[in-house]
Amino acid sequence: MTRIHRAGALTRTGIVSVLSLALLGLTAPASGAPPTAASPGNAVVLPAATPTASSLRAWPSTDVVRPNETVHFRGRVYLGEARTPAGRGVEVVLMKKTIHDPSWSVVERVTTNANGMFTARDRPTRSITYRLKVSSKNAVAASYSERITVRRRVADRHLNERTRMLWQAGQLGAARTGVRSVRGVDAVYRDHARGMLVRVDKRAGTRTWLVEGKILKKYRKLGGPTGRLGVPVHDQRCGLLEDGCVQRFRGGTLYYSPSAGYSVAYGTGEYTEALAAGLSQRNYREPSVRGSKFNAWAGASTAWCAIFQSWMASASGHEGAVPFRTRFSDFVPALRAEARRVSKPRPGDLALFSFTSSRQPSHVGMVIKAGKKTLRVLDGNTTSGTGSLTRGVFVRERSKHYVLEYYRIDW
């Protein structure tokens, strides 16, 4: 029997008129038998609707960034031959590559607003070539921007210079304050509607950092540059696992993701970035035995205490700092080979525990605080210590008696 595959129903009742069949090259016998194709073959595929043509324009906030600065890309998507601005919800993908990369990697996916505008961002670690793409979704054809090269150069960055740069890119909005000093620190800041700029003067030079987005909202609540977190040490990094963003300050790190919300890790050093990402998962409970989200991320179905430590590193932008292995028995030798063993623990170190009579490693956790006889650690695939057997992510107080070794990570 001849079949007709259609992209959409031609009539409400599904009956195809003789005229429509004639236009499609089909014939309908008078007997009412199913229509047959006029050309060879026993199936006819009706053409789908042609996707709407798209184009986009994008421009960077700067073509020369300083180390640890964010570059912003602002642009607009147009649809059709008349280049009408797109509405809300068209996906735009920011991609990047170096001159040595054979292919493009995805940095961030964003969507347009009601006026077809979008903003994407990246914190490059070297000179990078970028390209933006309109995704071929929702009947919109794919299109690409021109390639944009952003160079990275070590030099001072002053407050007025970066204010002008970001103002022109539409990233700041109206000023909320004048220039204010930070007591006890050679720094000043100015708060705007959509961003706060903090200039920090050091022997190595002058830098001006941007705090923006969800991180800015929490930073203000915690006192901003005059609060416990203090002044920034770099711009935030976004586009991480679960759409996370992380930014480090002199007194600790702020982390945010849409699924987990905010978390803060106080302390000094890069380890606080991983710790803040890990603390965002505190009190998570696996829905079934070995069925945790971290095993799903790793593609594993094993005990996942080590996998969680690797996830913390990746979720904070330090992928590979903690060895990634799907089996704990493979993780231990990798940790011993790649990290530095230390005798006195400090926050951020990984502690290997043994809870068996054989005194072989059976668990790992990150040290939050070291006391004389106990450790406060953040670990996964553990119980809460309240009697429940459900495993998850918890902060635990553990006796040093169970510790076999400590390892310091090169973040």
From the first residue on, what is the mean pLDDT of each consecutive set of 10 residues in the chain (411 residues)?
41 41 43 47 60 92 95 94 90 92 91 95 94 90 94 95 92 95 94 97 94 97 97 96 96 97 97 98 97 98 97 97 97 98 97 93 97 97 92 97 97 92
Judged by phi (left if over 0) then psi (alpha if -120 to 50, else beta), residue 320 lies in left
pLDDT of residue 149: 95
- What does the alpha-carbon distance between residue 69 and residue 61 come to, in Å, rounded to a whole number? 11
pLDDT of residue 36: 47
pLDDT of residue 1: 43
Q: What would the two tokens of residue 276 be? A: 């803040």
pLDDT of residue 45: 59
Q: What are the backbone dihedrals phi and psi of residue 403, each rounded to the nearest 5 degrees, phi first?
A: -85, 130
Domains of the chain: 3-45 (no CATH), 54-152 (2.60.40.10), 159-279 (no CATH), 293-408 (3.90.1720)
Is residue 111 a contact partner of residue 35, using CB atoms and an 8 Å limit?
Answer: no
- What does the alpha-carbon distance between residue 321 and residue 20 come to, in Å, rounded to a whole number? 64
Is residue 302 a contact partner of residue 308, using CB atoms and an 8 Å limit?
Answer: no
Q: How are beta strands 3-5 and 43-45 bridged, if at all?
A: parallel
pLDDT of residue 378: 98
